[in-house]
Amino acid sequence: MADSERMAGVLESVGYVGSEDASEADVLIYNTCSIREKAEQKVYSALGKQAKRKRERVGDLKIVVAGCVAQQEGQTLLRRVPELDIVMGPQFANRINELLDQANDAQVCATEQVAVEEDITTPRRESNITAWVNVIYGCNEKCTYCVVPYTRGAEQSRRPEDIRREMMALGEAGYKEVTLLGQNVDAYGRDLPGMAADASGRRAWTFTDLLRYVHDVPGIERIRFATSHPRYFTDRLVRACAELPKLCEFFHIPFQSGDNDILKAMKRGYTAERYKEIINNIRRYMPDASISGDVIVGFPGETEEQYQRTEDLVREIGFDRVNTAAYSPRPNTPAAEWENQVADLIKSDRLNRLNKVVMEVATERAQRFQGRTLEVLVEGPNPKNPAQAFGRIRHNKLVYFDGDGKSLRGQLVMVRVDECNAFSMFGEVVEVVGARAAQPGHEQVLTEEQAQAQVLAAV
Ligand code: SF4
């Protein structure tokens, strides 16, 4: 979504206008995901229809495939669909206008590794309340199932001052919430020059330093980040999140499996025990924090017993949300070549069973909000019921309530929660607090000393 917004912003800056109707557009862009095979197949089926339209259309029509499928397929895609004008990897999102110019003369394949240029355009953001801000592009990890390092390239951190400048502009424009983005945000700063002045041996910039540096940006009331990697998730980061009031008590930390041998085969670099330690540490400082994760079932060689350990971990942690997926072999990844692939039927059976467990655990976990009054940032009218508004609490859970979503859009309101489901809640407004940061979630945040005392007491 962030890349799509960036491309739309570049195109608007040179005079293009977005069209609601694809059949009227002069430029069609498919921004693609290749994380699973299904997403990739969807692109090919959509392209078939558009290629036919291009052959029949009088006048110019440019068809672009951007994103990770483009990066992965490159020239193959151009050969398979000769009507295509541009195939461009995600690192070229800021340069789509240049590529469109080049495509006037010949087909363009932009998939070589490049340094992502600092953004000089304003993305055309879908929301005027919440915004994505990239902090690091690419990934240097080598998880054996993942196609991302092959499609998004090596890590490239943006300069802290550029990130802060983008957030200042967002705050001035009335945005209230920012999500800092990276494939692995915890790697932020590893490629930036210099070492910390305090002789700690740390790099000059870590993700924790970045959070502290951007935290006071005026106008921005809430800061979130995604995605974290358990291998690099530090206690220092947890303490900063507990201390900084704008940091929301919501953590998305993929765990991928509850079995240590599977984690090793995935090359994830941590154990289930270490993962539990991280979550326990978060809850020591922020007992009410929401935890979400990603998990894969049916990774090559996964036995029923190993799958059970994943179920056990989901129950033990008590996740608020888990994005579940059946393992999908991806090109260029080591695990795709292994012979011990799990049969599709077994994978889908495990996925169904795990989804039930996730639903059960998330529903149970959601009950802690019942009867509480929580700060909601209103995002607008409920698309399915205009008499209702909806927004999110700091824990990233959706809340619906009776009210005028249009006039409340962008406001912080206090909602008393009357009904809690696994992924959404219903309630009633008790107060409109406007744009002030109410931070009710931090009522349960402990100071470092209090947390240490609690740990000692437990010991
Ligand atoms: S850290 Fe995430 S993006 Fe990077 S290789 Fe592993 S799964 Fe893929």
Assess whether 146 and 13 both reside in one domain. Answer: no
- The last residue of one of the domains, among 326, 348, 366, is 366
457 pLDDT tier (thresholds 50, 70, 90): very low
Residue 294 lies in a domain: yes
Structure tokens at 405: 């979503």
Q: Do 56 and 199 belong together in one domain? A: no
CATH code for position 399: 2.40.50.140
Asked whether residue 415 is assigned to any structural domain, the reply reads: yes
183 lines ligand 1 (CB under 6 A): yes
If you average pLDDT over residues 371-393, what whole number do you get?
A: 96
| Percent of the chain surpassing pLDDT 90 | 74
Decide if 235 contacts 188 (C-beta within 8 A).
Answer: no
Per-residue model confidence (pLDDT) at position 58: 65
Give yes or no: residues 49 and 31 share one domain: yes
Q: Is the CB of 148 under 6 A from ligand 1?
A: yes
Residue 125 lies in a domain: no
What per-residue confidence (pLDDT) applies to 123?
A: 81
Average pLDDT over residues 414-440: 82
Q: Give the Cα separation of 146 and 328 in Å (integer).
A: 9
SS (H, E, C) 280-322: HHHHHHCCCCEEEEEEEECCCCCCHHHHHHHHHHHHHHCCCEE
pLDDT at 40 exceeding the cut of 90: no
CATH code of the domain in which 135 resides: 3.80.30.20
Do 333 and 352 sit in the same domain of this protein?
yes
Closest residue to atom 8 of ligand 1, CA basis: 146
> Residue 79's domain is classified under what CATH number?
3.40.50.12160
Residue 56 in domain: yes
Let me know whether 236 and 162 are in one domain.
Answer: yes
Distance 385 CA to ligand 1 centre (A): 38
Q: Is residue 120 part of a domain?
A: no
pLDDT of residue 24: 84
Last residue of a domain, one of 48, 80, 110: 110
296 lines ligand 1 (CB under 6 A): no
Task: Say yes or no: 140 and 44 in one domain.
Answer: no
Could you tell me if 196 and 305 lie in one domain?
yes
351 is a domain residue: yes
Residues 229 and 242 in one domain: yes
N-terminal to C-terminal alpha carbon distance within the chain: 45
Residues 308-319: what's their mean pLDDT?
98
Give the C-alpha separation, 394 to 438, whole Å: 10
Q: How far is CA 90 from CA 7, 38, 227, 272, 453, in A?
A: 10, 19, 17, 32, 47
- How confident is the model over 336-361, as a mean pLDDT? 98
Asked if pLDDT for residue 115 goes beyond 80, the answer is: no
Residue 455 within any structural domain of the chain: no
> Domains in the chain: how many in total?
3
Per-residue pLDDT at 440: 38
Identify the CA nearest to 155 among candidates 194, 193, 187, 127. Answer: 187
Cα 1 to ligand 1 centroid, rounded to whole Å: 18
Instruction: Give the domain extent around 255.
Output: 130-366
Residue 54 is predicted with a pLDDT of: 86
Q: Which residue has the tokens 């809430």?
A: 222
Q: Which of ligand 1's atoms lies nearest the C-alpha of 139?
A: 4
Over 50: is that where the pLDDT of 237 sits? yes
Of 366, 383, 402, the residue at which a domain comes to its end is 366
Do 338 and 380 fall within a single domain? no
Output helix, strand, coil percentages for the chain, rounded to the nearest 5. Answer: 40, 20, 40
User: Is residue 31 lining ligand 1, measured as CB closer than 6 Å?
Assistant: no
**Average pLDDT of the residues in 292-310:** 98
Ligand 1 close to Cβ of residue 184 (< 6 A): yes
pTM here?
0.87
Residues 244 and 325 both lie in one domain: yes
What is the pLDDT averaged over residues 185-212? 93
Nearest CA to ligand 1 atom 1: 141
Residue 152: pLDDT over 60: yes
Counting atoms of ligand 1 from 1, which one is nearest the CA of 183? Answer: 3
In a domain, 450, yes or no: no
What is the phi/psi pair of residue 322, to 5°?
-140, 130
Co-location of 188 and 67 in the same domain: no
Do 69 and 176 sit in the same domain of this protein?
no
Ligand 1 pocket check for 146: Cβ under 6 Å: yes
Percent of the chain with pLDDT over 70: 93
